[in-house]
């Protein structure tokens, strides 16, 4: 009985150790802004806690082949974004499209996949926070067939709170478990 108890404890210890090593690897792999910008067909921005991502996407659409930007997970209206961020109306009409259905990263990837297929987009620059980029890239690679260049934007605080970092790692970890094999839609 004692041997069984020791084996169970050892097994639990190994699982915790693997989880902790994975967490440290995740923390140390948070991407920084890209060193160079490679031209893509479009810019895709995942909405979130503030407009910094949208502003960066707006800056980058001038550097893409077709000057297209897709904003996935929009909670407000086009007019609100235009007024708050000061985007030019002509650029909003010609170059920026909105996805209103996504409520999480998985749905962002699905929504982007359909938008890209409708617009014959083969490559994107994906903009989200540095903390969220690893999970976003993983899910986008699993769900879309796009060539993806990441463009992380710094998280709103210079020091990421441990609970936020841990929460994002758990979501990333769960995503990796769910998508052990590439999922085909």
CA atoms within 13 A on the CB side of 128: 26
Report the relative pairing of strands 96-99 and 68-72 from DSSP bridges. Answer: parallel
pLDDT of residue 134: 92
Q: Is residue 152 packed enough to be buried (19+ CB in 10 Å), middle (13-18) or exposed (0-12)?
A: buried
**Average pLDDT taken over every residue of the chain:** 83
Please report the pLDDT score of residue 73 as a whole number. Answer: 85
Does residue 61 fall inside a structural domain?
yes
Tell me what pLDDT residue 83 has.
67
What pLDDT score was predicted for residue 89? 73
The verdict on residue 21 lying in a domain is no
CB neighbourhood size of 107 (10 A): 16
Flag whether 59 is in a domain.
Answer: yes
Question: Residue 113 is part of a domain; what is its CATH number?
Answer: 3.40.50
The mean pLDDT value for 143-160 works out to: 84
Q: Which domain holds residue 165?
A: 31-178
| Residue 145 located in a structural domain | yes
What are 8-30's pLDDT values in tens digits?
A: 888 888 988 988 898 888 888 88
Tens of pLDDT, residues 38-75: 889 999 999 876 678 888 888 888 777 778 999 998 87
Q: What is the tally of structural domains in the chain? A: 1
Residue 69 forms part of a structural domain: yes
Whether residue 23 is contained in a domain is answered as no
Grade residue 5 by pLDDT with cuts at 50, 70 and 90: confident
- Residue 71 main-chain phi, psi, to 5 deg: -110, 115
| Residue 135 within any structural domain of the chain | yes
The predicted model scores a pTM of 0.83
- Report if residue 14 sits inside a domain: no
């Amino acid at each position: 009985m004692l041997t069984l108890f020791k084996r169970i404890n050892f097994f639990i210890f190994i699982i915790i150790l693997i989880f902790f090593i994975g967490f440290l690897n995740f923390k140390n792999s948070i991407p920084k802004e890209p060193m160079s910008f490679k031209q893509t067909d479009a810019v895709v921005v995942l909405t979130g806690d503030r407009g910094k991502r949208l502003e960066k996407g707006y800056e980058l659409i001038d550097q893409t082949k077709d000057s297209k930007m897709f904003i996935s997970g929009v909670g407000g209206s086009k007019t609100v974004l235009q007024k708050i961020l000061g985007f030019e109306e002509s650029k909003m009409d010609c170059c920026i499209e909105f996805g209103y259905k996504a409520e999480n990263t998985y749905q962002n990837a699905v929504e982007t996949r359909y938008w890209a297929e409708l617009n014959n987009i083969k490559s994107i620059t994906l903009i989200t926070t540095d903390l969220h980029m690893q999970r976003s890239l993983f899910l986008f690679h699993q769900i879309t067939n796009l060539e993806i260049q990441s463009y992380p934007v710094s998280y709103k605080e210079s020091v990421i709170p441990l609970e936020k970092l841990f929460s994002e790692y758990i979501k990333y970890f769960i995503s990796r478990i769910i998508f052990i094999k590439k999922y085909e839609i």
